[in-house]
A and B are shown apart, each in its own frame.
Chain A
Amino acid sequence: GAGVSQTPSNKVTEKGKYVELRCDPISGHTALYWYRQSLGQGPEFLIYFQGTGAADDSGLPNDRFFAVRPEGSVSTLKIQRTERGDSAVYLCASSLFGTSRYEQYFGPGTRLTVT
């Protein structure tokens, strides 16, 4: 079946603008995760959803970042008043939940550049 998809693949925006990044998880996966990867680093956790609710948002860097998953499938990561330091690749992952396996599957990422 289809893997995790993310749109857009690339986003260039000006400092101060608002952006939305979209993630479509693998069908049937109830858990969805957002990570951010800066150049030369490993991915860093931002937030994870179990169903529609944010189960852990401890990785969101500040209140400019917000994510939703209103119907328990597609998720949108929203960044307000973007700053140059927000430039990174934003990765989405999904997994089954409530089973003995929590293997996460990653999408191709959205490369965000803030100019």
Chain B
Amino acid sequence: GIQVEQSPPDLILQEGANSTLRCNFSDSVNNLQWFHQNPWGQLINLFYIPSGTKQNGRLSATTVATERYSLLYISSSQTTDSGVYFCAGSPTGTYKYIFGTGTRLKVLA
């Protein structure tokens, strides 16, 4: 089955720093989302981005579908950005999501 690799696995930043999280897929995906899992376990939708670029405040994401990867950019990080970031994609012909193992982000004040 499809493999989803996220990097880096762990990231520690000082407040105000910028970062880039990457998600690689071993095969093509139809749908792609980025999530933030907060310390209480809730998965929060960041972007639905099967292709192209989107921005929402300090966050932006780019998916290059032909090369099977997606990037999440966090600018001017805040302590509330801490948590685990997951990407997920659905293999062609399906609607189920395959999740990566996540990037654990800690932002220090």
The chain A residues found within 8 Å of chain B, CB to CB, are 31, 33, 35, 41-45, 48, 55-56, 58-59, 89, 91, 95, 97, 101-106, 108-109, 111
Query: Is A45 touching B98 in the complex (CB atoms < 8 A)?
Result: yes
CA distance A97 to B95 in the complex (A): 10
Per CB-CB distance, the 4 closest pairs between chain A and chain B, nearest first, are: A42-B99, A106-B43, A103-B48, A45-B96
Instruction: Report B-chain residues with C-beta under 8 Å of the C-beta of A41.
Output: 101
Is B57 interfacial (CB-CB < 8 Å)?
A: no
> CB within 8 Å of A: which of B13-48?
30-31, 33, 35, 40-43, 45, 48
| Interface bracket on B | 20 to 34
Closest to A102 in B: B31
Residues of A within 8 A of B98 (CB): 45
| Chain B contacts with A in 33-80, Cβ cutoff 8 A | 33, 35, 40-43, 45, 48
Having A35-B99, A42-B100, A56-B96, one finds 13 other A-B pairs with CB under 8 Å, namely A41-B101, A42-B86, A42-B102, A43-B43, A43-B86, A44-B99, A45-B96, A56-B95, A58-B96, A89-B41, A105-B45, A106-B45, A109-B41
Residues of B within 8 A of A (CB): 4, 30-31, 33, 35, 40-43, 45, 48, 86, 88, 90, 94-102
Q: What is the predominant secondary structure among interface residues of chain B facing chain A?
A: strand
What are 17 residue pairs bridging A and B, where the CB atoms are less than 8 Å apart in the complex? A31-B95, A42-B88, A42-B100, A42-B101, A43-B43, A89-B41, A95-B95, A101-B48, A102-B48, A103-B33, A104-B45, A104-B97, A105-B45, A106-B35, A106-B45, A109-B41, A111-B41
* Other-chain residue from A48, A106, A111 in contact with B42 (beta carbon distance below 8 A): A106
A33 and B96: CB pair below 8 A?
A: yes
Q: B95 contacts which chain A residues (CB < 8 A)?
A: 31, 33, 48, 55-56, 95, 97, 102
